[in-house]
Amino acid sequence: MQPRAKPSPEREAYYRRLEARDLSPLWEVMRELLSTEPVTKATPHLWHWAEARPLLMESAELISAEEAERRVLVLENPGMAGAHSLTETLYGGLQLIMPGEVAPSHRHSPAALRFILEGEGAYTAVNGEAAYMRPGDFVITPSWSWHDHGHEGEAPVVWLDGLDVPLMRALGTLFAEGYGESRQPTNRPPGHSYATFGHNMRPVGARHEAPYSPVFSYPFEATREALAALAAGSDPDPRRGFAMEYINPLTGGPAMPTMSTYMTLLPKGFATEPRQTTEAQLFSVVEGTGSAVVETGDGEVRLAFGPKDHFLVPMWMRHRIHVDEETLLFSFSDRATQEALGVYREAA
């Protein structure tokens, strides 16, 4: 790319005349507009469960479910102060629901995912159907689907929220609407969508033309079985270990069109080869301990993790992960968006 054009009084005068006409000289800014490699404000970061959980529990005393609407602690990327974002496109948060509470029904164009960290008895109702959630379950509340949460159990329930709010803000396509009641009516039994579409069958004549999976809830038991089978019958990918993606069983594509969601199994002692990709990932540690080493422009950052910790690997930073024991990592990224737009890339 070119060096900046030489300044001169004539040019400056010309530029002022351009400005008056809402025009500007590309050659003065092309180097900035077209960087040669991705530049992200996000930094590698780890949120310790041991620190986050007490703060989360404390929130239950400081604000009611009604007042909060969603009682969530946002995972703020230190490099993006005030942006309420993990990355340029993704948002993450830890949501707490106490027994008997309800998070009222609403819908919004940003897509949301839940990954259950702790507790039982809570449900998410999506488009007229409730899914009861247990740790390790993965639940989607796709773009513009009504959803509300409730808790019929006896102990706190916590889950990870992942949303594409920053992406939707960047696109401008933000819509949101309250349902007007705390609970939407349900018209199908709990688990109906999974039982109906999750067993490699589809109802003859049934329509599901939405651009997201008809399966709202992916139970941990099935996910774990899939990972165990993959590990038993194939070799790990040197850069990713045994990694599986949650899919829409009607297309084989991602469960929702904007976010890719994964569960990864790393065998005891496994150390990945370095990986560099345009997908930033937030990892939620399900089981196991280890560390991720991320290369930033300023050196390496080491993130030592244990169960229920969360850590972010920003885009295009080379990184590797080593685990001490067999480890399960849930993660999500915006790779689905990048692939839909033809710009996903991984360094060879």
Q: Which residues from 231-290 bind a copy of itself, rule CB under 8 A?
A: 232-234, 237, 240, 242-247, 249-252, 256-258, 262-263, 278, 280
Among 23, 57, 155, 347, binds a copy of itself (CB under 8 A): 23
Per-residue contact track with a copy of itself, 81 to 100, x per CB under 8 A?
---x--xxx-x-xx------
Nearest 5 degrees, angle CA 199-CA 200-CA 202? Answer: 95
Place of tokens 């850069």: 239
Residues 327-346 contacting a copy of itself, CB under 8 A: 334, 337-338, 340-345
41 class by beta-carbon count within 10 Å (0-12 exposed, 13-18 middle, 19+ buried): middle
* Number of residues located near a copy of itself, criterion CB under 8 A: 136
Per-residue contact track with a copy of itself, 207 to 236, x per CB under 8 A?
---xxxx-x--x---xx-xx-xxx-xxx--
Nearer to a copy of itself, 52 or 113 (CB): 52
- Which residues, other chains included, contact 75 with Cβ-Cβ below 8 Å and sequence gap of 6+? 47, 86, 92, 93, 94, 282, 310, 312
Q: How far apart are CA 184 and CA 108, in angstroms?
A: 15
Among 97, 98, 105, 108, binds a copy of itself (CB under 8 A): 108
- 227's enclosing H/E stretch is helix 220-233
Question: Closest separation between CB of residue 316 and a copy of itself, Å?
Answer: 8
Q: How far apart are CA 142 and CA 58, in angstroms?
A: 30
98 class by beta-carbon count within 10 Å (0-12 exposed, 13-18 middle, 19+ buried): buried
Among 44, 73, 124, 275, binds a copy of itself (CB under 8 A): 73
Residues 149-168 contacting a copy of itself, CB under 8 A: 165, 167-168
Residues 171-190 contacting a copy of itself, CB under 8 A: 171-178, 188-189
Question: Closest separation between CB of residue 175 and a copy of itself, Å?
Answer: 6
Q: Which listed range, 104-112, 116-124, 290-298, 318-326, lies at the site for a copy of itself (CB under 8 A)?
A: 104-112
Query: Does residue 191 interact with a copy of itself by CB under 8 A?
Result: yes
Query: Does residue 47 interact with a copy of itself by CB under 8 A?
Result: yes
Question: Closest separation between CB of residue 215 and a copy of itself, Å?
Answer: 5
Question: Largest Cα–Cα distance in the chain?
Answer: 75
299 class by beta-carbon count within 10 Å (0-12 exposed, 13-18 middle, 19+ buried): exposed
Please state, as a whole number, how many other Cβ atoms lie within 10 Å of the Cβ of residue 238.
12
